[in-house]
Amino acid sequence: MSSPVKEPLCTWRGKVAHDWVDYNGHLRDAYYMVIFSFASDGLMDLIGMDAQGRQTTGHTLYTLETHLSYLLEVKEGADVEVFTHIVGLDAKRLHLCHGLYLQGGAALLAANEQMLINIDSARARSAPFAAQAGERLRALAQPHLALPRPSYAGRSIALAPPKLVTPHG
């Protein structure tokens, strides 16, 4: 692998298709996740977990959890790109954050946090990353872990419990 990456990686670029927008001309909520799924595939390609790598090693990634934040509207025909930041890594799991932007733009349109796990398909269970993919991931993750953690990483969804109203006040 060449020099270490010192910033999030561009893992997907594309155009918002007509079939992806709703009656308001905005990207449908489900298609944000489609785009982020393509970006995860892009990262898999970068680390050697593409179709050939999966066939050779029998390893793949499964998504354990995801959190998606819709921040700004995305319109039909927009040229967008996803940058991926590896925020955590262990022997079997990968914690990453994807950010969706207009190509060349600075404003974050949507953010997606994912926890992925490496699966050995032959055993149908989690397993440490295959050697080559693990080495590539560690090389990518090392400089990423030194970057500021994205502000949307680790958030949760919650409302405060409603206050009970008693008849006497």
The number of beta carbons lying within 10 Å of the beta carbon of residue 49 is: 25
Whether the Cβ atoms of residue 79 and residue 27 lie closer than 8 Å to each other:
no
pLDDT at position 1: 34
DSSP strands (E only) in 35-92: 59-70, 79-89
Fold of 12-146: Thiol Ester Dehydrase; Chain A (3.10.129)
What single-letter amino acid sits at 34? V
Map out the domains of the chain as residue ranges: 12-146
Whether the Cβ atoms of residue 48 and residue 133 lie closer than 8 Å to each other:
yes
Q: Distance (Å, rounded) from C-alpha 99 to C-alpha 103?
A: 12
Note the residue count of the chain: 169
Q: pTM for the whole thing?
A: 0.89
Per-residue pLDDT of the chain (169 residues; tens, 9 = 90+): 334 456 899 999 999 999 999 999 999 999 999 999 999 999 999 999 999 999 999 999 999 999 999 999 999 999 999 999 999 999 999 999 999 999 999 999 999 999 999 999 989 999 999 999 999 999 999 999 999 999 999 998 888 888 877 777 5
DSSP state of 13: E
pLDDT at position 169: 58
